Each structure stands twice: as C-alpha cells, then as structure tokens.
A and B are shown apart, each in its own frame.
Chain A
Amino acid sequence: MLTLVLVGVLAFGLPLVLRSPTYLHILILLYLYAYLTTSWNLVGGFAGVLPMGHAVFVGIGAYTSTILSLQYGISPWFGMIVGGLLAVVAGTLIGLPTFKMRGAYFALATIAFSEGVRVIIENMDYLGPFKLNGPRGLQIPPLKTGLANLLFAHKEPYYYIILIMLIAVLAFTYFISRSKLGYYLNAGGEEPEAAMALGVNVAKCKLVAMAFSSFLTALAGTFWAQFTLFIHPKSVISLDLSFEIAFIALIGGRGSIAGPVLGALLLRPVSDFSRIYFGDKLPGLHLIIFGTVLILVMLYQPRGLQEPLTRIYDRIVERLCSDKASEQIAVSPAAKE
C-alpha cells in the first residue's frame, strides 16, 4: 500500500521536475497504453476471452466526440460519454453471439468487426449528417483551449488527465476483482461448466465485462483525439493498435491488476526508443522485439511477467524489512502488496 502511495505522489510530482515536452509526451503515451491495456484486461484477462480488435472502441470514442465537437460544438467531455455508450452497444453486439462460441471464433469476430468498421469509415465521407472524411481523417483545430474543451497548449494538463484516468481505471478493476462480478468472471473463465452449475450466467457476465471494457476504451479514444488533434482510420482503428494492446496485456499478465501496467511500463519504452533510434535504419524492429518477447513469455511464463516480477519485488521488500527488524523488534513485515 505504501509503495502505491509513493508511486502516486511521484507520478503527480513528475511534471514539476521533468520539463521536457518530449519526455512528458512519452509518459502520456505510456499512461494511455497502461489505461488501454487495463481496460482490455476486463475482458481479456478477467473474462478469459481474447479480444483482438479492441482498437475499434478507441476509434468509436475518437470519432464520436470529434464529430460532435467539430460539427455541433459539443464539449468533448460530453462527446466522450456518448462515444462510450456507442462503444457499449457495439461491444454488446459482438459479444452476444460470440461468447457462446469457442475462443478462437471470438478473436476472429473482433478482428473482422474492427477491420470492417475501419474499411467502412475509410470509404465514407458522410454517414448521414455526420462528416467522417474517409481516409483523410478529421483534424481538430487548436482554437479554443481550456478544460471545458479538453484542449490545451501544453502537455501538462493532458498528463494529469490521463494519469487520473489511469488511476481511476485501476481502482475500478481492483473493486471489480473483489466483487461478485469478478469472482463470477474468473470462475466462468476457468471452468465454465462448473461455474454455471454454481449459479453463474457465464455469457451474461462476459457481456457485462465487455460493456465496461468497451466504454472505458472509448473514453481513451476521445482523449487521444484531443491530444493528437488528428484522427484517421488507420491511426485509431488499426489492427496494429489492437494487437499491441493485447500483446502488452498478455506479456504483463492478463487477469491480474498490475500485469497490464507492468507490461506497458516494460514495453512502451522499448517501442519508443527503438523507433527514435532505429526508426529509419531498422523499421519495425520494435515489433520484432514485441513478437519475440511475447512468444518467450507465453512459453515460459504464460501467466505473464507480473508473477515472477511480484515475487522478486516481495523478496526485496522482505529483505529490506527484515534488515530493519534485526535492528528493532519489528511486529510484522511491511507492505506486501
């Protein structure tokens, strides 16, 4: 518990120390990916299925809030919620028929849905009264800044917003895991027949998890749009993004709360640095690294890296605390989180 508070304070204090916009940018993306993978985890980890097209919800969130703000002047905060609700509808539509099938079908369905939506948006300039602009994408002019418009001239406000979102989603995941839904999801994911015999409507629970997950993911889509000020189908609804989210969560450890964040912490820097330093000479290197790490982790630590990492962490904490204990007569070892 103590460590979490420390980390939290550190995170909030960082922008005061780190002035460089580049580093802030990297951190913002890091938190964003941690947010995305944690939301993904609600379905991919807790419910035990493999959504491989989650980026579509990012896209739905991004496009909804952007269209509403560009065409109707509606605040992105409101647009965020609308986008989230639309994502819930989409997620439920995919989930309803596929949660009864084997996992591979669900994975395929999510990919097909994501690609299908992307192709449709790429082909349409207008969907009814809404301007989609096809492959050219939508640009948000940086005119009116301020909290109400979720648009800022500097990186700092974005940093705090995404940090708060990340903390919120982590807390949410924590509470779900301790709740009836969490128990039911775990049971249904591990032994669906036994779970059903114990009163668990497995398919319904998965749908609920899917609804939460798609809603939260869409919120990140709006953030992304307001942060990068430009969205187009290949950037927000790409298979690459979907896979990256899934890979990070899987490498970190799906089904655990720390896993996705750990994964993001480990892998995003790899991605950023390999792109900065090798971008031109060795394109796609970071993806090769991702793929290799993924395979290695799946072969040797299928539950993700968080398991061995937490064990190492616990041992360090124990070592530190038993040092203190040998000086004083301690009562109990400290934070085992």
Chain B
Amino acid sequence: MFYILEDAINGILMGSIYGLTALGLTIIFGVLKVINFAHGSLLMLSMYVAFWTVSLSGVHPYAALIVVAPVMYLFGYQLQNTIIKPIFKAEKNVREPITVIIVTTGVWYILDNLSLLVFGPQYRTLQDNPLRGKMMEIGGLMLSVPKLWGFVATMITAGAVYWFFQKSRMGRAIRATSLDREAASLMGVNQFKIYNVAFGIGSATAGIAGVVLVPFFNVFPSVGVLFDIKGFIIVVLGGLGSIGGAILGGIIIGLIESIGPQFMTATWTEAIVYGLFLLVLFVKPSGLFGVKYDW
C-alpha cells in the first residue's frame, strides 16, 4: 500500500515533467493552429545541447539552462521563420494548413537522423552529475530529487508562460493572433513575427524540459520519438492549446505509467495509454480543458 503511494507521487512528479515536455506543443498549437510533429526532435536537441554544455564545461546540470533555453528559442524562431512561414504565406486562405504538418514531419526525420549521424547511436548519460539517483525522504516516502526539481521547474515554467500570455503585451498580441489572424493584423500586429515568437517560446520550454531530463534520462538520437508521441497524447488529453491541460494530461500519463506496472506488464501500460488516447479522441476530442473550435 505504501509503495503505491510512493509510486503514485513519483508518477505525478514524472508526469509533471511530461507536461513540461508537452507544453511547447500545446503553445504552438494554440497559437499557430498546427501540430508541430518535430517537437520531439526539439526536445532531443535540447537534451544534447544540455549534455554537451555540462560535459564540456563541468557546470551544474541546471546551470546549462542559461545556454539551452536561449539556443532553443533562437532555433525554434528560425525554424518557423525559414521553413514554416513560407507555407503559411502560400496557404493564406486555408484555415488549417496541413502542409505544415507534413513539413514538420520532414524536420523530425532530418533532425533525428542528422543527430544519429553526427552524435552516433550510443546512449549518453551524465555519469557524475550531482543529481543522479539522488533520493530524498519526505514524510516517510522516498522521492526522486531530480524529479522533484522537475516538478518545481514545470510549475514555475507553466506559471511564467501563463502570466506571459495573460498579462504581457506580446502575450496578448499572441493570443489575439491565435483567435483571429486577420483581425489581429489589422490592429497592427505582425502576424508572422508573432508566430516566430510563439514557436521560439514553445522550443524554449522544450529546452527547459531537456535540462530537467538530462540528469536522469539517457540521451540518444531517437529519444525525441518517445516524448513526441506521448506529447501528442498528453496534449489531446488535456486539450490542445491549454497550458493547465498539458500539465494535467502529463500527470495523468505519469500516474498510469507508475501505478500500472503494479497490476500489469509495463508494455500493457503503454497500450492502455494509447487506448485512453483513442478514447478521448473519439469521445471528447477537445480534451479536458480544450475549447471547442468553430471551424
């Protein structure tokens, strides 16, 4: 009984980190109305950047954030600017440019295989980092320290992003654009700059997630795929475009993954996650907190 509680809490912690990884996906969807299939690859990239930053400079893993977040922001910004923007321009009248999905899938393939080529397939871990395997006892329960920090990071990031979108000028411009592209541009908002910024922010959150994961998660070229698919599931569960939904969706997945193995094999747990996803898709596609779209 006790162990279940411990597992559950660790599951919630890990789940919040899942939510963090999916945060960028939901932001990009909420603003650009496209699903960025390359999101997992962005996460993979940030993990590599974090890994190399720490390995080469020896700083504390979390200090790598100073490098990773801006790098990822710029990368995402440029990605949107050079590759995705032209498609939006070409498909101005289409409410939902499917071509963007195709293109982001292409980016996924390129990034994943490029990193396989460049970094090699071996798993990398930060062997001596100060957080590895550390556990902390709270109220008699053994909890994983990196995951605890991850939880904190998730909450702070989610809160910051939420505040940004609600209160700041740029944030409100972004929200306006997401609701009605044309009206916002009539108000003097540069639609494409907005998209670039939104993509940048989404990528930066992937960067934060990468930094959080690197102390305890192996880094290898296809690590992104795991999170990519899980990210889709989380984001649909929670509602595309909803920040709280992404976190909650992540926590649900985390819980299923941690408690499930008590009652069945780990891979059946995976099947349950897929099943849940399909269920949500069929029953309430807008997810737990999503808005019903008029399209």
Contacts and interface: CB of A to CB of B under 8 A. Distances in A.
Interface string A251-266: 0000000000000000
B107 A291 contact: yes
B4 interface: no
B101 A284 contact: no
Given A116-B271, A120-B271, A288-B117, A294 B278 contact: no
A285 interface: yes
A98 B278 CA distance: 10
A282 B91 CA distance: 36
B101 A104 contact: yes
Interface stretch (A105-113, A215-223, A306-314): A105-113
Contacts of B110: 287-288, 291-292, 295
B106 A103 contact: no
A107 B101 contact: yes
A290 interface: yes
Nearest to A107: B101
Contacts, number: 122
A247 B265 CA distance: 35
A104 B32 CA distance: 13
Interface string B30-51: 0000110000000000000000
A192 to B, nearest CB: 10
Interface residues of A, number: 40
Given A50-B98, A104-B35, A283 B116 contact: yes
Interface string A111-129: 1110110011011000000
Contacts of B278: 109, 112-113, 116
Contacts of A250: 102
Nearest to B100: A298
A120 B34 CA distance: 29
Contact of B109 (A52, A282, A291): A291
Interface in B71-109: 83, 86-87, 90-91, 96, 98-99, 101-103, 105-109
A102 B293 contact: yes
B263 to A, nearest CB: 15
B202 to A, nearest CB: 16
B117 A115 contact: no
Contacts of A50: 98, 101-102
Contact of A290 (B34, B96, B109, B265): B109
Contact of B116 (A246, A284, A291): A284
Interface in B207-261: 225, 229, 232-233, 236
Contacts of A246: 102, 105
Interface string A77-119: 0000000000000000000011001111101110111011001
Given A108-B35, A123-B265, A295 B106 contact: yes
A115 B275 contact: no
The DSSP consensus for interface residues of chain B is helix
A162 to B, nearest CB: 26
A299 B91 CA distance: 11
The DSSP consensus for interface residues of chain A is helix
A288 B34 CA distance: 23
Contact of A104 (B96, B116, B265, B275): B96
A103 B96 contact: yes
B2 interface: no
B99 A298 contact: yes
Contact of B229 (A98, A115, A284, A294): A115
B34 A104 contact: yes
A102 B281 contact: no
A285 B267 CA distance: 31
B229 A119 contact: no
A299 B101 contact: no
Contacts of B232: 108, 111-112
Contact of B103 (A103, A122, A294): A294
Contact of B117 (A97, A108, A285): A285
Nearest to B29: A104
A229 B105 CA distance: 31
B270 interface: yes
A84 to B, nearest CB: 23
A230 interface: no
B287 to A, nearest CB: 11
A183 interface: no
Interface in A205-258: 239, 243, 246-247, 250
Contact of A97 (B90, B236, B281): B281
Nearest to A288: B113
Given A105-B281, A287-B109, A298-B102, A111 B229 contact: yes
A298 B109 contact: no
Nearest to A283: B116
Interface string B105-144: 1111110111011000100000000000000000000000
A18 to B, nearest CB: 31
A97 B98 CA distance: 19
16 contacts: A52-B105, A97-B282, A98-B282, A103-B98, A103-B101, A104-B34, A108-B232, A111-B232, A113-B274, A288-B110, A290-B109, A294-B106, A295-B110, A298-B103, A299-B83, A302-B90
Interface of A: 50, 52, 97-98, 101-105, 107-109, 111-113, 115-116, 119-120, 122-123, 239, 243, 246-247, 250, 282-285, 287-288, 290-292, 294-295, 298-299, 302
Given A250-B102, A299-B103, 19 more contacts: A52-B105, A102-B293, A103-B101, A104-B34, A108-B281, A113-B278, A116-B271, A116-B274, A116-B278, A119-B274, A246-B102, A247-B105, A284-B116, A291-B110, A291-B113, A294-B102, A294-B106, A295-B110, A298-B103
Q: Which A-B residue pairs are the 3 nearest by beta carbons? A: A116-B274, A284-B113, A291-B109
